[in-house]
Amino acid sequence: MCSDHGHGKSEAPVEQVADVDQQPSPVASRALIDELVLANHILFDNGVVDAFGHVSVRHDVRQDRFLLARNMAPGSVTADDVIEFDLDANPVNGRGRKVYLERFIHGEIFRARPDVMAVVHSHSHSIVPLSVVKSFPLRPVFHMAGFIGGGAPVFEIRDFGGTGTDLLIKSRDLGRALAGMFNSNSIVLMRGHGSTVVAETLQKAVYRAVYAEMNARYQLEASRHGAITYLTTEEAQACVKSIEGQIQRPWEFWKQQAEARRRC
pLDDT above 70 as % of the chain: 93
Does residue 154 come out as left (phi exceeding 0), alpha (psi in the -120 to 50 range) or beta? beta
Say which CATH number the domain at 30 has.
3.40.225.10
SS3 212: helix
Residue of 143, 122, 120, 153 whose CA lies nearest to 218: 143
Q: Is residue 9 part of a domain?
A: no
Q: Is residue 114 part of a domain?
A: yes
The tally of domains found in the chain comes to: 1
Q: Is residue 150 part of a domain?
A: yes
pLDDT in tens, 172-189: 999 999 999 999 899 999
Global pTM reads 0.92
Among the listed residues 35, 84, 102, 244, the single catalytic one is 102
Q: Is residue 59 part of a domain?
A: yes
pLDDT of residue 14: 58
Q: Is residue 1 part of a domain?
A: no
Q: Is residue 108 part of a domain?
A: yes
| 46 backbone dihedrals φ, ψ, rounded to 5° | -95, 10
Residue of 49, 93, 90 whose CA lies nearest to 172: 90
pLDDT of residue 12: 44
pLDDT of residue 257: 95
Residue 102 designated active-site = yes
pLDDT in tens, 65-121: 999 999 999 999 999 999 999 999 999 999 999 999 999 999 999 999 999 999 999
Task: Report whether 138 contacts 209 (CB < 8 A).
Answer: no
Q: Is residue 61 part of a domain?
A: yes
Q: Is residue 7 part of a domain?
A: no
Cross-strand partners of 15 = 99
Expressed as residue numbers, the domain containing 119 is 15-263
